[in-house]
Amino acid sequence: MVGGCVRDLLLGREPKDFDVVTDASPEEVKKVFRNCRLIGRRFRLAHVFFGREIIEVATFRGSDDFANERVHENGRLLRDNVFGSIEEDVWRRDFTVNALYYNIRDFSVVDYVGGMEDHQAGILKLIGDPVTRYREDPVRMLRAIRFAAKLGFKIHPESEREIPDMANLLENIPSARLYDEVLKLFISGYAVQTFEMLRHYDLFSALFPATDLSLQLETDGFPRLFLAKALENTDLRINEGKSVTPYFLMAAFLWEPVQSAAKEKLKQGKHGAIAYQEAAREAIRFQVKHTAFPKRVGLAMTEVWTLQGRFSHRSGVRAYKLLGHPRFRAAYDFLLLRAETGGADPELADWWTKFQVANQAEQGKMLKKAAGQHRNKRRRPKKSPKSSKQSIATKD
């Protein structure tokens, strides 16, 4: 066994999965296990299935005299199907604490690169030259942040020094792969720390450029307060053993860019619902160039956003239709989040909290009262600027 499972066991944690390495080729592994599937193009792997469990089996990686033929002009590895020995394999791994091998034959930990020492010191250190290793695979910068936040480790000075200057290399990574990394980063129970570290090392802008721009323009803590609260709630749910839907988190990340675009469209005279729908499409179209989430995620995000405007319509038919919408719960949670951070009326959020659990008679009374308040609000005469000044003067 190698990598995260060994690292986590040494920390007294229960590993989420186990990775196995062997001198057998993927084809040889498949001959041994009928319930095996070979995957991967850059590096061939064997997935051995045991019910719902998957054991990933990799062949020891080796060095290659023709490595330059497999490297992009920016230094990124394109193919990596060269097999070798365990002594060669260790130098192909990313961090020293992830290069610890547990030999089940004699129950020993094999360490070639000082991983045990770094593990005990709580240090995350790249194996080899940081510039070369980050160029080989820029995602290693994201992995450094993820492991540091998850394990509470410090990134070694030599390994962290180059990150801000090399963050732009993430632009060369397929956007679909970056979406997978985003899920690992933010749905692990350490989203708040991860978010702060990504911004500190200038990596967040590579993942969410529109959101990063909106954070630079924040006023009185907005929208950063909203996003931070969303990440905090995500961590809380995970730590309580509850599920987290990726589309809700993505909707929180892009909420401020959507709002900004919608406001511009409203100024142009477009109807509220249409303005938000167009803004949502534009935000998603831009975002998928950086993190290409599945279409179903984008559709769910759009529904959560567009339903926000419908919460203010508390008439009988509209209220019941909204209550029965498949995305009501997610949209309602989003409303609560906005209300907590000053982006929505707390009274409105409280009304919907009570309405969804009330019986039919109570719901009828609530709807009648809300309708009366709405009519009174519409009938209330607006004071002219002149009369306002007179009343203020009289009061003074």
Give the tens place of pLDDT for each residue, 336-371: 999 999 899 999 999 999 999 999 999 999 999 988
Q: Assess whether 350 carries a catalytic annotation.
A: no
pLDDT reported for residue 386: 46
Q: State the residue for tokens 């989420």.
A: 16
Which of 19, 64, 180, 345 is labelled catalytic?
A: 19
- Interval 154-168 mean pLDDT: 96
pLDDT reported for residue 315: 83
Q: Is 125 exposed, middle or buried (0-12, 13-18, 19+ CB in 10 A)?
A: buried
Q: Which residues contact 303 (CB under 8 A, 6 or more apart)?
A: 325, 326, 327, 330, 331
In the chain, beta strands by DSSP E: 19-22, 36-39, 45-50, 53-59, 100-103, 108-111, 123-124, 154-155
Q: Assess whether 106 carries a catalytic annotation.
A: no
Convert the pLDDT of each residue in 206-247 to its tens digit. Answer: 999 999 998 887 666 555 789 999 999 999 999 999 989 999
pLDDT reported for residue 289: 94
Calpha distance 320→192 (Å, rounded) = 36
Which of 17, 23, 129, 350 is labelled catalytic?
A: 17
Domains for the chain: give ranges and CATH numbers: 1-23+60-173 (3.30.460), 175-380 (1.10.3090.10)
CB distance 195 to 186 below 8 Å: yes
Q: What is the number of other CB atoms lying within 10 angstroms of the CB of residue 373?
A: 11
pLDDT reported for residue 270: 87
Which of 80, 94, 111, 235 is labelled catalytic?
A: 94
Calpha distance 285→124 (Å, rounded) = 36
Q: Assess whether 333 carries a catalytic annotation.
A: no
- Interval 370-395 mean pLDDT: 53
pLDDT reported for residue 76: 54
- Based on its alpha-carbon atoms, the radius of gyration of the chain, rounded to whole angstroms, reads 27
Calpha distance 122→5 (Å, rounded) = 16
Is it the case that residue 328 has pLDDT exceeding 90? yes
- What SS3 class is residue 388? helix
pTM of the model: 0.84
Q: Sorting pLDDT into bands at 50, 70 and 90, what band is 79?
A: low
Task: Give first-to-last CA distance, the chain, whole Å.
Answer: 80
φ/ψ of 77, rounded to 5, equals -70, 135
pLDDT reported for residue 271: 84
CB distance 150 to 4 below 8 Å: no
